[in-house]
Amino acid sequence: MKIQIINGPNLNLLGTREKEIYGDLNFEKYLDKLNKYFIDIEIDYYQSNVEGEIINKLHEVGFSYDGILLNAGGYTHTSVAIRDAIKAVSSPVVEVHISNVFAREEFRHTSLIAPNCIGSISGFGLDSYRLAIEGLKVWKK
Amino acid sequence: MKIQIINGPNLNLLGTREKEIYGDLNFEKYLDKLNKYFIDIEIDYYQSNVEGEIINKLHEVGFSYDGILLNAGGYTHTSVAIRDAIKAVSSPVVEVHISNVFAREEFRHTSLIAPNCIGSISGFGLDSYRLAIEGLKVWKK
Amino acid sequence: MKIQIINGPNLNLLGTREKEIYGDLNFEKYLDKLNKYFIDIEIDYYQSNVEGEIINKLHEVGFSYDGILLNAGGYTHTSVAIRDAIKAVSSPVVEVHISNVFAREEFRHTSLIAPNCIGSISGFGLDSYRLAIEGLKVWKK
Amino acid sequence: MKIQIINGPNLNLLGTREKEIYGDLNFEKYLDKLNKYFIDIEIDYYQSNVEGEIINKLHEVGFSYDGILLNAGGYTHTSVAIRDAIKAVSSPVVEVHISNVFAREEFRHTSLIAPNCIGSISGFGLDSYRLAIEGLKVWKK
Amino acid sequence: MKIQIINGPNLNLLGTREKEIYGDLNFEKYLDKLNKYFIDIEIDYYQSNVEGEIINKLHEVGFSYDGILLNAGGYTHTSVAIRDAIKAVSSPVVEVHISNVFAREEFRHTSLIAPNCIGSISGFGLDSYRLAIEGLKVWKK
Amino acid sequence: MKIQIINGPNLNLLGTREKEIYGDLNFEKYLDKLNKYFIDIEIDYYQSNVEGEIINKLHEVGFSYDGILLNAGGYTHTSVAIRDAIKAVSSPVVEVHISNVFAREEFRHTSLIAPNCIGSISGFGLDSYRLAIEGLKVWKK
Amino acid sequence: MKIQIINGPNLNLLGTREKEIYGDLNFEKYLDKLNKYFIDIEIDYYQSNVEGEIINKLHEVGFSYDGILLNAGGYTHTSVAIRDAIKAVSSPVVEVHISNVFAREEFRHTSLIAPNCIGSISGFGLDSYRLAIEGLKVWKK
Amino acid sequence: MKIQIINGPNLNLLGTREKEIYGDLNFEKYLDKLNKYFIDIEIDYYQSNVEGEIINKLHEVGFSYDGILLNAGGYTHTSVAIRDAIKAVSSPVVEVHISNVFAREEFRHTSLIAPNCIGSISGFGLDSYRLAIEGLKVWKK
Amino acid sequence: MKIQIINGPNLNLLGTREKEIYGDLNFEKYLDKLNKYFIDIEIDYYQSNVEGEIINKLHEVGFSYDGILLNAGGYTHTSVAIRDAIKAVSSPVVEVHISNVFAREEFRHTSLIAPNCIGSISGFGLDSYRLAIEGLKVWKK
Amino acid sequence: MKIQIINGPNLNLLGTREKEIYGDLNFEKYLDKLNKYFIDIEIDYYQSNVEGEIINKLHEVGFSYDGILLNAGGYTHTSVAIRDAIKAVSSPVVEVHISNVFAREEFRHTSLIAPNCIGSISGFGLDSYRLAIEGLKVWKK
Amino acid sequence: MKIQIINGPNLNLLGTREKEIYGDLNFEKYLDKLNKYFIDIEIDYYQSNVEGEIINKLHEVGFSYDGILLNAGGYTHTSVAIRDAIKAVSSPVVEVHISNVFAREEFRHTSLIAPNCIGSISGFGLDSYRLAIEGLKVWKK
Amino acid sequence: MKIQIINGPNLNLLGTREKEIYGDLNFEKYLDKLNKYFIDIEIDYYQSNVEGEIINKLHEVGFSYDGILLNAGGYTHTSVAIRDAIKAVSSPVVEVHISNVFAREEFRHTSLIAPNCIGSISGFGLDSYRLAIEGLKVWKK
C-alpha cells in the first residue's frame, strides 16, 4: 500500500510557527513516527507553498497511489484549481487539518476541496494524519 | 476509558434509510464490532430524535466520560442549543459524520456545533466512529 | 387506504389562537368532518410540539401508511431533521398549511421540508387537509 | 360557477416537453376530463407565453369570474407586474404548479405572485388543477 | 412641443384598482385635465401591459418627441430590456410614479430604469405627471 | 399576581457552566432570593432543554398567568415555533438574558422571539429576572 | 403658504463643488429666482452640515409650516434619525435631489428618508426645488 | 450615587410624537417621578439631536458618574462613533429603549452600541428607564 | 442545414443605438453578408422586443431547425421563461452577444439562459453570429 | 499572424480526466488538427498548473503576439492576478472554455478574467479554440 | 506649506482611552513633536466629535491648504457626508489611522471616505501622522 | 538595518503597464533612488508572479530581517496562504500599494493580508515604499 502526504503552504514551518495552534513538532520528525507506526505502508511526503505544484503532485501520484492525504493549508479555502485536480485523479484523497478549522476565522469554515475528497479529518493535531491513514486502510478494503 | 456515542435524528434508521449514502449496516451491529475492536474501552450508545434529549445526555455524561462522539444529524446545521451544551460540558466532544457532508446540499456545509468540538471526522462511513475513538485515545494522553 | 395527519407546534391551539389567521374551529371537530367525508379512508391524527416526536411519528407510520399530511408549523422553516426524516421514509408526504404562508413574514416563505414532499397545499384554511387527501387518493393510483 | 384557468409560458408544450417532470398528457385532453368531472362548473382555458397578455386576461375575467387558476410558469419567479394584476382584480386566484417547484432549482423556490393569491397547490401533476377547483368551490361558500 | 406618456402594466385599471393607493380618477379623465393645463403641448398617451410593446413605443417616439413620461409600473423593478430601450433612444425620459414607491414593499425600492432617465418623480398622485411635464419644459430650454 | 419563569436549554447548568459568563450561583438558590424579594407574587419555575416542552409550558400557563419570563437560551436565535407560541398565548412575555447577548457571537444578535415579547432585558446577570418582574408589575397596572 | 427648504451637508458649496454634477449656480441666487416665481409663498431657507441641526430645524418648523423641501445630501442614505424626525412632525416633507441619484454610486440608490416623505423628486437640477413646491401646492388643496 | 440619562434624536418630542408607540407623557414630567422614586440618587438629564454632542456628554460624565442610561434613538443603529465613545469611558452604560425595537422595522433590530453597554432594556415604555436604574444599583454593589 | 437567428429587445436599433458598444452596421445588412458567407445554410432571422414572442418563435422552430442563435438582449439576465423554453425544445441553442457583457454593468454578468444553451459566444461584435454558426456546423456532425 | 494558446490547471489531463465533460481527445493531438486547419497562422501552445507561470507567459507574449487564447481553468473564477496581467498586456485575449461553464456549479458562473478579455467562447468542446482563432482573425482586421 | 490635521470622534481622549490600542500619548504633546520635526510646515490642528463640524472644517481649509490629514474615527465607516465633503474640496486629503483598522472588527474594514482621499496610512500609531505629512510633501512637488 | 521589499504579480511591468495608474518609472530605477535616500539601510528586492514563491521569500527572510514591505498586487485580495505566511514569520510586514486601491474596483477594497501586517500605506505612488521604510524605522525603536 502506497500513500502520499501532500502539505500545502506554510506547513514547512510546523514546529516553528504559531505553536499554540500547530504544536512544536516539525513534520519530518512526525513522519518518522508515522513510518514506524505503519510499517507495511509506503508513505511519501511532499510539501510546497506553490498551488500549481500541489496540482502537479496530485497529477503525478493520483493515478497509482492507494490514497492521498492533503492538507492544503490556506489554499483549502480559495483554490478551485486544486478542487478540480482532486476530481481529475482516481486515487482517493482525504482532507486533513491539524487544527479545528471550524473554531477559527469564518473564512476558514468553507472548504472548496472537501466536496471532491472522500472524507475530512480535522482538529486532532498531527495525529489527524495517522487517523486519515487508518481511514484509508479500511476504505481500500 | 469510557466513551459515549450520541446519534441524532434519523440515525435510528441506519441500514434502512438512503442506503446509497449511509450503507446497509444498522448501528447496533456496528456497535458490536466496535466493542470487539476496542476491548479496553467502555462504549455507551444513545440515540434520540429529540434535540433537547441530546442536550440532556450531553449534560449527563459530559462531566465524567473521557470522550463523546456526537453525530448530531440534521441538528448539526441548526442547533445553537447543542452547540452551547458542548461548550458547557468538560468532556472532549468529536463531531462525526458517516457521509461526506461537504459533498451534499449547501446547507449541510455549515456546522454550528463544530467550533466547540475538539475535532471533526466525516466521510468514512461507519468507520468514522472508529477513527474518532482512535483520535480520542491519543488526545487523552 | 390509511392516512396519517401530523400537526406540528401550536396547532393544538387551533380555534383558540390568532383566529383571524387560523379560523375558530378546533382540529378535533374538523377531524370528525373529515372522517365523514372520506368514509373509506382510515385517518389517524397526531399532534406534537416537539420536533423529535414528529420525527418519531414519521418513522413509525412512514413505511406502512398510504400517505402522510404534514403541517409542520414553525418547524417548516427551520428543521433539517424533519426534512431528512421525510426523505428517509417511503410513504408519500404532503406539506399542508392552513394559512397562505407566502403572504406572511418573509422567513415563512422558505420551506426546508417541501423539497422532500410530493407536493404542497396552503391557504385554503382547514380545507387544505381535505384537498391533500384528495390529491393523495389520485397519486396512489 | 365560472372558473378561468390561465397557463403561462411553455405550458402549451405540455405532453411534449420534459415529460419526466410534466407528464405526457397535453392540457387540452386534460381539460376534457376536468369538464366531465365538474359538470356544474364552466371552465374557461387560456394559455399565453406573453406576460402582458396574462395580465390582460386577468383584467378581463378578474371582476366577474368566481375564481382563477393561475400557473404562471417561469413568470412566477420574476413578474411583479402579474403580482400587481392579481391584487388589482377581485376574483380569488389560486397559484397552481404541476411539479413540486420546491424540489427544483433554487430560483424556483421564490414565488412573487403567491402573496396575492388565496392559496397555492403544487406537485400533484395535472391533478393540481382539479384540487384547486375543489378548493375554490369550498372557498366560495 | 410633443410629449408622450407611457403607462405600464395595470395602470389601465386606475380608478378601479386599489383606490387607497392610486386614487379613484381614471387616467383618461386626468388626461383631459392635463391637456387643458398645457394647451401649447401635444400630449400623446399610450398604455400597455406588455413589456415589449412599451419598448416598441419607446423606439417609435424616442427619436422625435421632446420628452417621454414613463410609469413602467411593475416593470420598473424587473426590466433590463426597458432600461436598455431608454438608453437607446434620444428623447429625455422621466420616471413617474403615482404612489411613493419607497413607502411600499422593499422590492419596489429598486428601480432598474431610473439610471437611464433624466429624473424621477413619485408620490404626488396623478399630479406627478403634471410635475414631470413642468420639469421637461425647463429641461428642454 | 402569578408569574412563570421558563428557562431554556443549558440553563440547568447555571453555577456550573462557563462561570465567567453566567456567574457561579445556581438558579434554584437565586429563586429563593427572588421569592423573598417579591413576597406578594407567586413565582413558578420551569426549565427544559426540549424546545417543544417549552412550547407546552407556554400553552399551559399562557392563558392564566399575569406574566411570563422567558430565557430561551440557544432557542432564542433559531425557534420560529417558540415565537409562534408566544404570539398564540395571551399572557405578556418578557425576554430575559443573563449575559449581554449583543456582546457575544454574531448569531446571538438576532432574536426570533423578541418581536412577540412585550420587552427584553439582558446583561444584568441573574438580576435580569428581578428587573423583568419589576417591569411586569408596572405593566399590569 | 409657508414653505421651508432644508439643505443638508455640502450643499453650501453649490456653484463651487463638482459643477458637472450640480451646476454652477449657488443656492442663494437660485432662491431669489424661486421667490420671484412664487410670489404668494413665503419660502424660508436653511442649510446645515450637521445631522442633528437638520433634525432641530425639522422639529422647529414641522408643526406649523405648510410643507418642507428636504435635500438631505449624504445623510439621505445613512440617517435613521432624520427619517424618524420626518415621521415625528406633521408638515408634509418632499425629498429633493439636484442630480439623478440613481445614476450614481450604488450606495446612493437607497434612501432611508424617502419612506416617510410624501414624495420624491430628483434629477432636474435646481429646478427640482421648484417642482417640489408646485407639487406641494396641489397636495395642500 | 450619580446617574446620567442621555436621550438621543427626536426624544425631545416625547409626548407629542407617535403617541401610539411612545405614549403621551413628556420626559421632563417623567423625570420628576423618577426623582421622587429614587430619592437617594442624583439623576442628571441631557437630550440632544446631535450625534457628536451625545459623544461630548458621554466623555464629560463617563469618568465620574456611577452609571449612564443611553437611549440613542435612531443613532442606535448607525453610530460607530457613539459605540466607540461608550467603550472609551469607564462608567457603565445601559442601553434603554421605550418601545420594543425588535417588533418594529428590520433595520431597528441591529444595535451598534449594545456590544459596549453592560446591558439593554427595551419595551417597557418610560418605565424602561426606572428598570435600568434599578439594574445599575445592583450592578454597582 | 437550417439555422434560426433570434434577436431580442432593442436589437432592431442596431446601427442606430449606442454605436460605441454595438457598431454602426444594422443587422439586415449584416445578414446579407452572413448569407453570402454560408451559402449552403438557410438562415432565418427574427427579432422581437416581446419576451413571449421570442418564446413563441423558439417553440415554432425548436423541433425542426438544426440550430438556433439567440441574442436575448436584456432578457438574458431576467427571463426564467425563455430559459425554460430553450430547455423545452430539441434544437441546440447558442447564446450570442455582440458586446462583451462581462465588461459592462454587474447585472449583465449573470445569464439565466446560458445553462440551457450548448454554448455561449460574446464580445466579437456582429462576428459573434458567424462564429456561432461555425460552431453549430461542427456540433451537428 | 502569431497566436498563443495558454491552458491553465488540469488541462494537461485532457483526454484522461472527466471525459463526460471534456471529451477523450488530448490537447496535443487537437493542436495538430488546429495547425493543419490554420496553415497561415503560427500557433504556440503553453500549459501550466501554476497561476504565476501563466502570468509570466502572458507577459512574455503579450506585447508581440496577434492574439492569445486563454483557458484559465479553475483560476478563471479566483485569480485577480491573471485578470490584472491580461489588462497589463497589449495583445487581445480571448477567454475559452471547453465545457459550458454556466451549466455547471454556481461558482463557475463568475469569471474574474472575462472583463479584461475582448470576448469569450464556451461550450463547443475543443472546437471552442478554433472558433476563438476564427474570431481573432476578423478582430485583427 | 500649510497642513491641517482633522481628528474625528473620541480622538480627544487619546492618551486616556484604550491605551493598548492607541498608546498613552495625548495628541497635543504629539503635535509639539510634529511641529519640531517639520519646522518649515505650518500645522493646524482641529478635533471634533460632530460629523457636521468636521465637514465645516474641511470646507473652511479645503480650498487653500496644501494638504489635509483626516482621521475620521468612527465616521470613517458610516459617513457619506464626509466622503462628499472630501470630493467637494480641492486640497488633497490623506486618510490616517493610528491603529491597523483591518485587524479589528469587520465593520472597520470598510472605509467610506478612502475612495476620495489621495491615499491612506494606518497602523503606525501616532507616527502615521508624520508619514502622511512626509507623503504630502512629495505629492505636492 | 535590513529591509526586504517583495513585489507581487504584474509589478515587474511597472513603467510599462497602465501608466495612468502606476506611473512610468520602472521599479529598478526607483530602487536606486531608495538606496541613495536610505544609505544606512540594506534594502533587498524581490519580485515574483507566483503566489507560492512570495511565501517562500517571506519564510526565507521573515525571521532575520528588520522589516518587510509587501505589495502583493492581485494576491492582496485572494490569498489566505500569504496571509498565513505573514502571521507565521516574526519580522514586521507593511502592506504597500502604489495606487489608492480603495478608489478602484470593489473587489480591491478587501485585503486578506492587512490584518496580519503592522500597517498599511497606499496611494502615494512609488513614494509609498519610502514612507513604509520611514515607518518601519520608527517602529523598530
Place of cell 468529536: B94
Judged against a pLDDT cut of 70, whether residue F114 lies above it is answered with: yes
CATH number at residue J97: 3.40.50.9100
Residues B75, B97, B109, B129: which is the catalytic one?
B97
* Share of chain B residues as helix, strand and coil, in percent rounded to the nearest 5: 45, 20, 35
Given a contact cutoff of 8 angstroms between Cβ atoms, the answer to whether J50 and J72 are in contact is no
Q: How confident is the model at residue J140 (pLDDT cuts 50, 70, 90)?
A: confident
State how far the Cα of D85 lies from the Cα of C64, in Å rounded to an integer: 45
Nearest-10 crossing angle of helices J27-37, J127-140: 40
Chain segment E119-131, per-residue pLDDT in tens: 999 999 999 999 9
Complex ipTM value: 0.93
Q: Are H113 and H86 in contact (CB under 8 A)?
A: yes
Name the more confident of B17 and K99.
Answer: K99
pLDDT digits (tens, 9 = 90+) for G89-127: 999 999 999 999 998 899 999 999 999 999 999 999 999
Cβ pair K73:H84 closer than 8 A: yes
Residue E59 known to be catalytic: no
Interface present between J and E (3 or more CB pairs within 8 Å)? no
pTM to 2 decimal places: 0.95
Predicted pLDDT at B85? 97
In this complex, whether F and D touch, counting 3 or more CB pairs under 8 angstroms, is: no
All three cell numbers of D42: 364552466
Set of cell numbers at residue A92: 482517493
Q: Do D88 and E10 touch (CB under 8 A)?
A: yes
- The arithmetic mean of pLDDT across residues L66-86, rounded, is 97
Q: Say whether D119 sits in a helix, a strand or coil.
A: strand
Question: CA J11, CA J98: separation in Å to the nearest integer?
Answer: 10
Which pLDDT value is given to residue E18? 72
SS3 category, K68: strand
**Residue corresponding to grid cell 480603495:** L102
Separation between Cα atoms, residue H116 and residue K108, nearest integer Å: 15
Q: List Cα–Cα distances, L6 to J55, J82, L3, L70, in angstroms.
A: 17, 18, 10, 5
The whole-angstrom distance between residue J51's C-alpha and the CA centroid of its chain comes to 14
List, in order, residues 6 or more apart from I138 with CB less than 8 Å away. J124, J127, J130
Angle subtended at Cα G77 by Cα G75 and Cα G79, rounded to the nearest 5 degrees = 55
Query: How many other CB atoms are there within 10 angstroms of residue J53's CB atom?
Result: 18
Q: How far is K20 from chain L (nearest CA, A)?
A: 14
* Structural domains counted in chain F: 1
Question: Which of G110, G118, G123 lies closest to E118 in CB terms?
Answer: G123
DSSP state letters, I100-124 = -GGGS-GGGG--SSGGGSSEEEESS
Q: How far apart, in whole angstroms, are the C-alpha atoms of residue A92 and residue A94?
A: 7
Q: Each residue of D18-29: pLDDT tens digit?
A: 777 767 788 999
List F47's β-bridge partners, or say none. Answer: F7
Render pLDDT for G9-67 as a digit per residue (tens, 0 to 9). Answer: 999 999 877 777 767 788 999 999 999 999 999 999 999 999 999 999 999 999 999 99
Hey, what's the cell of K18?
484604550
Pick the catalytic residue from G30, G65, G75, G97.
Answer: G97
CA-to-CA dists, residue H35 to D13, F110, H31, H42, angstroms: 77, 35, 6, 8
Q: Is G51 on the interface with K (CB under 8 A)?
A: yes
What pLDDT, on a 0 to 100 scale, did the predictor assign at position K22? 67
Which residues of chain A, if any, have pLDDT below 70?
A: 22
Instruction: Give the model's pLDDT for residue K80.
Output: 97
Any chain B CB within 8 A of the CB of A102? yes
Please tell me the distance from the alpha carbon of residue B11 to that of residue I76, in angstroms, as a whole number.
45
DSSP string, F87-137: HHS-S-EEEEESS-GGGS-GGGG--SSGGGSSEEEESSTTHHHHHHHHHHH
| Smallest CA–CA distance from H77 into chain K, residue | K78
Mean pLDDT for J42-52 is: 98
Closest chain D residue by Cα to residue C112? D102
Residue K78 has pLDDT above 80, yes or no: yes
Q: Is C60 on the interface with B (CB under 8 A)?
A: no
The cell numbers describing L115, all together, are 490584518
Catalytic hit among A30, A65, A75, A97: A97
* pLDDT, average across residues J45-69: 97
pLDDT value at I129 more than 80? yes
Q: From G120, G107, G115, select the one nearest G83 (Cα to Cα).
A: G115
Q: What is the mean pLDDT of chain H?
A: 94
| CB-based contact J74:A81 (threshold 8 Å) | yes
Q: Which three cell numbers stand for residue J76?
A: 478563471
Mind telling me the catalytic residues of F? Answer: 22, 97
Percentage of chain L lying above the pLDDT 70 cut = 99
Q: Are H4 and H65 in contact (CB under 8 A)?
A: yes
Longest dimension (CA), chain K: 39
Between vectors from CA J108 to CA J117 and to CA J13, what angle results, nearest 5°? 85
Q: How far apart are CA G78 and CA H96, in angstroms?
A: 22
**Of the candidates H139, H134, H99, H97, which has an alpha carbon nearest to the alpha carbon of residue H118?**
H139
**Spatial separation of the C-alpha atoms in residues B111 and B108, rounded to whole Å:** 7
d(CA D85, CA D113): 9
Task: Indicate yes or no: CB of A75 within 8 angstroms of CB of L78.
Answer: no
Cα–Cα–Cα angle for G3, G4, G10, nearest 5°? 145
pLDDT band at I112 (very low <50, low <70, confident <90, very high): very high
Catalytic residue among C37, C97, C109, C129: C97
H/E run at residue L32: helix L27-37
pLDDT band at F25 (very low <50, low <70, confident <90, very high): confident
pLDDT at position F127 is 96
A33 SS3 class: helix
Q: Which of B21-30, B38-47, E27-36 has the lowest mean pLDDT?
A: B21-30
Q: Tell me, yes or no, if D10 comes closer than 8 A to chain I by beta carbon.
A: yes
Residue from E128, E82, E68 nearest E101 by CA: E128
Other beta carbons less than 10 A from residue H126's beta carbon: 21
Candidates F17, F24, F77: best to mutate against B (most CBs of B within 10 A) is F17
Residue F2 Cα, gap to closest chain H Cα (Å) = 19
Read off the pLDDT band of B23 (50, 70, 90).
Answer: confident
**Residue range of the domain that includes F47:** 2-140
Q: How confident is the model at residue L140 (pLDDT cuts 50, 70, 90)?
A: confident
Number of Cβ within a 10 Å radius of residue I40: 6
* Per-residue DSSP letter, C70: E
Interface partners of C (3+ CB pairs, < 8 Å)?
A: B, D, F
Is the four-CA dihedral B64, B67, B73, B74 of positive or negative sign? Answer: positive
Output b/e per residue, E102-112; b: 16+ Cβ within 10 A. Answer: bbeeeebbebb
Do B10 and C81 make contact, defined as CB atoms within 8 angstroms?
yes
Is the pLDDT confidence value at K43 over 70? Answer: yes
Mean pLDDT, residues E39-65 taken together: 97
G109 in catalytic set: no
Residue E111 clears pLDDT 70, i.e. is over it: yes
